[in-house]
C-alpha cells in the first residue's frame, strides 16, 4: 500500500522554495497495547478525574488548566489565552544554517519524517539533496506545527531527504551530571578490546538483522489465548557469573568469536591418537593365556 502524506510544507532554501510532502518515518501502530478491563465481567474501563479536595468525580466541562508556580498555588489560563500563546503554523521549514552531519549529536534526535517532492518541487528537491550529499552537510532550521516551534535537521539519505526533529538544549541532560570516575586503561587490555571490536565489526548497519523477539513472543501468546490454548510460563534464565578478571573476560570473548577452522588442527590430534592400533607387545596377558591353559591340562 502506498504511503500517505500527513502534511504539506515548503522548505526554504535561500531564495529557493521547495514544496514537499511530509511522511511519518516510524509506525506507532506497530506497538502492542493492552486495554484495562473489569476483572469480573471483562468490560472496558472508563477513566475518571477526581478532585483530591472534595473527593468527587469531575466532568470534563468543569476542568480548567493551571500552572503551578509555587506549592499548591496555581495561575489559571482560559482556552482562549492558551490558544493565543501557541505558535502559528506557517507550513514552512526555514533553513538557517548548514553544518557537517557529524556535528549534530544523535542524542538530540527526536521524531523523524521522510520528505518527498510535491507538485513542481522535483527539481529543487533533487538539487538540495545532491548538494547536501556532495558537501556532507545537513541543513538546520525551524518548523512551526501543532502550536509549537521545532528545531529540524534535514539530512540526505540514499533515496531522498529525512527531516529529523531535534530536541532543544534544555531538553537534553548534560553528561556532566553523571559521576564517571577517571580510570587508567592498560595497553594490553586496550589491544584485546580493539581485537574484539574488529572481530565483530561490520561496514554497514542492517536493521533487518535485529528482530523484536519480545513482540514476537507476545503475539504468539495472544494468538494462543485467542485459540483457547493455555500459555506455559517459562522460568527466567539465571544471570551470568560476575566477571572479575577483565583480561580473562576479553580473552574468552575473543576465543568465542574465533572461527572454528582455527581450532580444527588441535581438535584432530586426539582423534588420530585414539584410532591408532596399539602395538602387539602392549597385550602380554592375552598372548600368555593359551600357554597357561596348555600347562593346566597337563
Place of cell 509549537: 148
| Exposure letters 117-141 (e unless 16+ CB within 10 A, then b) | bbeebeebbeebbeebeeeebbbbb
Residue 108, in any domain of the structure: yes
User: The CATH number of the domain where 143 resides is what?
Assistant: 2.40.290.10
Q: For position 288, what pLDDT does the model report?
A: 43
Residue 103, in any domain of the structure: yes
Count the domains in the chain. 1
Residue 90, in any domain of the structure: yes
Residue 142, in any domain of the structure: yes
Q: For position 134, what pLDDT does the model report?
A: 95
Q: Are strands 7-13 and 92-100 parallel, antiparallel or unpaired?
A: parallel
Instruction: Encode pLDDT of 60-69 as tens digits.
Output: 999 999 999 9
Domain around 134: 7-28+86-171
Instruction: Encode pLDDT of 92-148 as tens digits.
Output: 899 999 999 999 999 999 999 999 999 999 999 999 999 999 999 999 999 988 788
Lowest-confidence region among 73-77, 180-184, 283-287: 283-287
Lowest-confidence region among 54-58, 141-145, 176-180, 228-232: 228-232
pLDDT bin (cut points 50, 70, 90) of residue 277 is: very low
pTM of the complete model beyond 0.75:
no
Rg of the chain taking only CA atoms, in angstroms: 34
Cα–Cα distance, 104 to 45 (Å, whole number):
44
Residue 115, in any domain of the structure: yes
Residue 227, in any domain of the structure: no
Q: What is the mean pLDDT of residues 244-249?
A: 78
Sequence-separated (6 or more) residues with CB below 8 Å from residue 96 = 140, 141, 142
Instruction: Encode pLDDT of 185-222 as tens digits.
Output: 999 989 989 998 998 889 988 888 988 888 888 888 88
Amino acid at each position: 500500500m502506498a504511503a500517505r502524506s500527513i502534511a504539506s510544507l515548503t522548505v526554504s532554501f535561500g531564495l529557493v522554495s521547495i514544496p514537499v510532502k511530509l511522511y511519518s518515518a516510524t509506525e506507532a501502530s506497530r506497538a502492542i497495547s493492552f486495554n484495562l478491563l473489569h476483572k469480573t465481567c471483562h468490560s472496558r474501563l472508563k477513566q475518571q478525574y477526581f478532585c483530591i479536595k472534595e473527593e468527587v468525580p469531575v466532568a470534563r466541562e468543569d476542568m480548567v488548566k493551571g500552572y503551578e508556580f509555587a506549592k499548591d498555588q496555581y495561575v489559571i489560563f482560559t482556552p482562549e489565552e492558551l490558544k493565543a500563546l501557541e505558535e502559528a503554523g506557517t507550513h514552512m521549514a526555514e533553513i538557517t544554517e548548514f553544518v557537517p552531519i557529524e556535528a549534530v549529536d544523535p542524542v538530540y534526535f527526536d521524531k523523524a519524517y521522510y520528505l518527498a517532492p510535491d507538485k513542481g518541487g522535483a527539481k529543487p528537491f533533487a538539487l538540495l539533496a545532491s548538494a547536501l550529499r556532495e558537501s556532507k552537510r545537513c541543513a538546520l532550521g525551524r518548523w512551526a506545527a501543532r502550536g509549537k516551534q521545532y528545531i529540524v535537521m534535514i539530512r540526505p539519505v540514499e533515496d531522498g531527504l529525512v527531516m529529523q526533529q531535534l530536541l532543544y538544549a534544555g531538553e537534553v541532560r548534560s553528561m556532566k551530571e553523571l559521576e564517571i570516575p577517571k580510570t587508567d586503561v592498560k595497553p594490553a587490555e586496550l589491544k584485546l578490546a580493539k581485537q574484539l571490536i574488529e572481530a565483530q565489526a561490520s561496514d554497514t548497519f542492517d536493521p533487518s538483522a535485529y528482530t523484536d523477539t519480545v513482540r514476537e513472543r507476545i503475539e504468539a501468546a495472544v494468538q494462543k489465548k485467542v485459540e483457547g490454548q493455555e500459555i506455559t510460563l517459562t522460568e527466567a534464565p539465571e544471570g551470568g557469573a560476575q566477571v572479575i578478571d577483565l583480561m580473562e573476560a576479553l580473552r574468552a570473548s575473543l576465543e568465542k568469536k574465533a572461527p572454528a577452522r582455527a581450532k580444527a588442527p588441535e581438535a584432530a590430534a586426539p582423534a588420530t591418537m585414539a584410532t591408532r592400533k596399539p602395538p602387539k607387545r602392549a597385550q602380554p596377558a592375552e598372548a600368555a593365556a593359551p600357554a597357561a591353559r596348555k600347562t593346566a591340562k597337563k
